[in-house]
A and B are shown apart, each in its own frame.
Chain A
Amino acid sequence: MIHASLKELSQALAAKKISSVELSTLFLDRIERLNPDLNAFVTVDREKSLAMARAADARIAAGTAGPLTGIPVAQKDIFCAEGWTTTCGSKMLANFVSPYDATVIRKMHAEAGLVSLGKTNMDEFAMGSSNETSYFGPVKNPWDRARVPGGSSGGSAAAVAARLAPAATGTDTGGSIRQPAALCNLTGLKPTYGVVSRYGMIAFASSLDQGGPMAASAEDCALLLNTMVGFDERDSTSLDRPAEDYARDLDKPLNGLRIGLPKEFFGEGCDAEVMAAVRAAIAEYEKLGATCVEVSLPNSHLSVPAYYVIAPAEASSNLSRFDGVRYGYRAPEYGNLDDMYMKSRAQGFGAEVKRRILIGTYVLSHGYYDAYYLQAQRIRRLIANDFVEAFKQCDVIIGPTSPSTAFKLGEKAADPVQMYLSDIYTIAVNLAGLPGMSIPCGFAGGLPVGLQLIGNYFAENQLLNVAHRYQQATDWHARRPEAIA
């Protein structure tokens, strides 16, 4: 049962082969056993989870269940959930119990009837690519416990990879769903900006943040995404579009699919074994009826610098509310008001968060704004235009998700620029607001390799179809880390 797909779990629950309480208990027990080592969850509350499971069982019994009612999932600890400690991986919010539900949480709980197993570990305020910036300690990669699971949704990735949960939510500002999915052999989807509500999702960089599903397959992602999306009047950047069933097009044949291969993604800087796995996957797509065309994203080399201006700028302002006045961490001793601010924020934030607040404050400062922030916004438009041009020649863009497989814990922790380059292939997608996925496409040195699929705006259905057909023809996504069984 722990390896079952969401569809299989849905059928088992509907057929009353297992109850939600039994299923949830199974996963809660695994968390209890395996989490102390993996550190994938920061909060587990068995009673709360089982109460949700009982409510789900009642809905199933009453015949009012939705397709995923009663299925347990893990929630990235960036989503506010009423009555749950919501830390965002930070000492600043270590004791913050949210009095309200994020829209995504409300939809998953109240509407879909999913059961939350707990809150997963993450890089502090989602700032990181290795989950090492978390106040609650690093997460171990289930494929090799000396290695990172990626970040910032590292806890969610490790939890699903180790089957502590059938699926999980993540958020992606520069690659935080796709990169950990790649490093943990998962399927992860970052939707088009505005498809998933950001209300109650603690903001890192508002114009880039987007929630999405992380699971074992494209089909699981599609089913989970169905419960997360929809227009939200509480989020002004939410898009009011007709509802779609993201499982609708999964089985469509890929004949005639035009795959764009950006030459900038196939040059230097990528690990050779990773590249070999990516090329093999492309060959597989050709077998499935797709044709390949070389495209160019000429400004993609500017995406990391532009991102590291825009994201810190927004973050420096978004994180101002953590001032020790109304909630969150306040220094135990301080003199005047300024001293309280300084000590509370100095003690409450970790090094990476402080680094980004400093960068962001700098680039927005009088005299620097035009040279940094405005310039980065111009580059952002150029990058988005590159994709518009590329999509005139192709339906999806394919390349590696990450230039390397999972690196060792501590390997890049001291070198922020090396760490930032982990997201070199994923960041442009956020800057353009496009949907992107990572799917497993092989192994290098025994570690998972992720294939990135980038679609045009609102092409989630097409991306899921392209991913699903590949997963019907291959079994990379079905591989599990041996040590975890």
Chain B
Amino acid sequence: MNQWEVVIGIETHAQLATVSKIFSGASTAFGAEPNTQACAVDLALPGVLPVLNRKAVDCAIRFGLSIGAEVATKSVFARKNYFYPDLPKGYQISQMDLPVVVGGSLTLQVGSGDKAYEKVVRLTRAHLEEDAGKSLHEDFHGKSGIDLNRAGTPLLEIVSEPDMRSSDEAVAYAKALHGLVRWIGICDGNMQEGSFRCDANVSVRPKGQLEFGTRREIKNLNSFRFLKEAIDYEVQWQINEIEEGRKIQQATVLFDPDTGETRTMRTKEDAHDYRYFPDPDLLPLLIGADWIERIKDELPELPAQKRERFTNVLGLSAYDAGTLTASQEIAAYFEAMVAVAGQGNAKPCANWVMVDLAARLNKAGREMAESPVSAQQLGGLILRIADNTISNNIAKKVFEALWNGEGATADEIIDKQGLKQITDSGAIEALVDEVLAANAANVAEFKAGKEKAFNALVGQVMKAAKGKANPQQVNDLLKKKLAG
């Protein structure tokens, strides 16, 4: 394994979140009764013609701008010709020579902790095309059924350069891309429903060799886990083949999640000749500067821009900034919190979102959007920690109370439940004196050099204060008294 280098490129089909199809007015909603969302154009009746949905182009431009790519001023729709029952026209309208988006790149965080590193993956292109329908092979007594509801759903096919060198990098890329298309609102990212599916081109070569090995393409991976498992299996399989003296044949393979294995679907010899040519029913797609400007104005702040702001302006670590920009929901939550708690409290805000809130949500099996504690509530809580109204430990209690709806704000809960920290030095001094008087043994131990005895005394004071005494003040006073 060590002398081999893995090379991976990924093609992703992202279904675009338009209301209607790319070349017809039929709805794109998922899950309707078969063939109820297929109009004359989708059925490819004789004489019908495609008309481009400009909303799909908006999505492609959005994507191009968000990865720093070139949005082509002229792109061309082409016909990809092949026969299949769920392809009603006998050709798929796609883009070949002139795609709508060219180039660009995606920066990813791979791994976590000490082993985390940043990786830039270059994109080759992204082009618009239509999805096919579905063939249904069950429940038809030996015959096949065809559902054309999905036929004509707009897709953006996003093609990466073969820049990834491990299945971890491939998964990090797919996750970053998945996050991005959802972030900019062009795809719902629902992988179970097939809205976001990846094909992985995998090859291996001896380390140090410049030439790529022969690649095999694993089709239709619709979860990050399958993507990783399929690549890992495929890599090992290819290495074994080569080490046993066999050559890799270029092929398209399928991954079987049940066995965890890939198997050959077709080899290069029986590849189709798709006979691409420009679709004479559609004019070249011309995108002027004004169109691009309009989309630019509508574009939200992108994850990369946010990450930069979080580190430069808010002083967060790269890791924190990366975690907080994993989705627009997390980032929005965090920023709403900072708006209440103030930029000076960005770090505790980040910790609370990433640790306490994340853990609580995880425990409850909820998404960020379903959190019973709002960003405003949590921001208010941070303020009370910052101004020493409560300690971190008490804050956890207040948070749980907010979660359970015991009050509308942190302040209300602190007030109602009497959780306000004791900072009156006179009151704390009285408690300290009381504890020192009652625990002569500990005092003696401390004076004999046992540092641990000090902690026991702190514990006693806090216990006497029902946890509400300011820990720093307790520490300081105890030290003073014991020294004196």
Contact = CB atoms under 8 A, between A and B. Distances in A.
Partners in one complex: yes
Interface of A: 79-80, 86, 88, 93, 96, 98-100, 102, 198-203, 205-207, 233-237, 313-314, 316-317, 319-323, 325-327, 337, 341, 361, 364-366, 369, 373
B49 A235 contact: yes
A196 to B, nearest CB: 13
A300 B361 CA distance: 75
Given A320-B81, A325-B85, A364 B277 contact: yes
A309 to B, nearest CB: 11
A236 B282 contact: yes
A213 to B, nearest CB: 19
Nearest to B23: A236
B49 A199 contact: yes
Interface string B84-107: 010011110000000000000000
A327 B45 contact: yes
22 contacts: A93-B46, A96-B46, A99-B45, A100-B40, A198-B47, A199-B47, A203-B49, A203-B281, A205-B280, A233-B51, A234-B51, A237-B281, A314-B280, A316-B275, A317-B275, A317-B277, A323-B90, A361-B275, A364-B276, A365-B273, A369-B277, A373-B277
Contact of A313 (B85, B88, B277, B281): B277
A203 B47 contact: yes
Interface in B253-288: 273, 275-277, 280-283
B50 interface: yes
Given A317-B79, A317-B81, A365 B48 contact: no
B40 A326 contact: no
A336 B281 CA distance: 32
B44 interface: yes
A325 B283 contact: no
B146 interface: yes
B39 to A, nearest CB: 10
B46 A98 contact: yes
Interface string B272-309: 01011100111100000000000000000000000000
A472 B89 CA distance: 48
Contacts of A98: 45-47
B281 A236 contact: yes
B interface secondary structure, majority: loop
Given A233-B51, A323-B83, A364-B275, A99 B46 contact: no
A236 B50 contact: yes
B51 to A, nearest CB: 5
B204 interface: no
Contacts, number: 95
The residue among B40, B46, B50, B282 with the most chain A CB atoms within 10 A of its own CB is: B46
A25 to B, nearest CB: 30
B394 interface: no
Contacts of A201: 47
B90 A321 contact: yes
Contacts of A325: 85, 88, 146
Interface string B393-414: 0000000000000000000000
B49 A88 contact: no
B48 A199 contact: yes
Nearest to A360: B275
Given A321-B90, A337-B85, A200 B48 contact: yes
Nearest to B89: A321
Given A100-B40, A236-B281, A321-B90, A200 B47 contact: yes
A202 B280 contact: no
A236 B51 contact: yes
Contact of B44 (A79, A316, A326): A326
A366 B273 contact: yes
A381 to B, nearest CB: 14
Given A199-B48, A326-B43, A206 B277 contact: no
A373 B48 CA distance: 24
Given A236-B52, A325-B146, A202 B47 contact: yes
Given A320-B81, A320-B83, A321-B46, A206 B40 contact: no
Given A96-B46, A200-B48, A313-B277, 15 more contacts: A86-B46, A198-B49, A202-B46, A205-B280, A234-B51, A236-B49, A236-B282, A314-B280, A317-B90, A320-B81, A320-B83, A320-B89, A321-B46, A325-B88, A361-B275
B149 to A, nearest CB: 14
Interface in B55-103: 79, 81, 83, 85, 88-91
A430 B72 CA distance: 30
A258 to B, nearest CB: 33
A361 B275 CA distance: 8
A199 B50 CA distance: 9
Contacts of B48: 199-200
A202 to B, nearest CB: 4
Contacts of B275: 316-317, 361, 364-366, 369
Q: Which 5 pairs between the two chains have the least Cβ-Cβ distance?
A: A320-B90, A364-B275, A206-B280, A207-B280, A200-B47
Contacts of B49: 198-199, 203, 234-236
A105 to B, nearest CB: 10
Nearest to B90: A320
A88 B256 CA distance: 46
A388 to B, nearest CB: 20
Given A317-B81, A317-B91, A321-B88, A99 B51 contact: no
Contact of B88 (A88, A326, A337, A366): A326
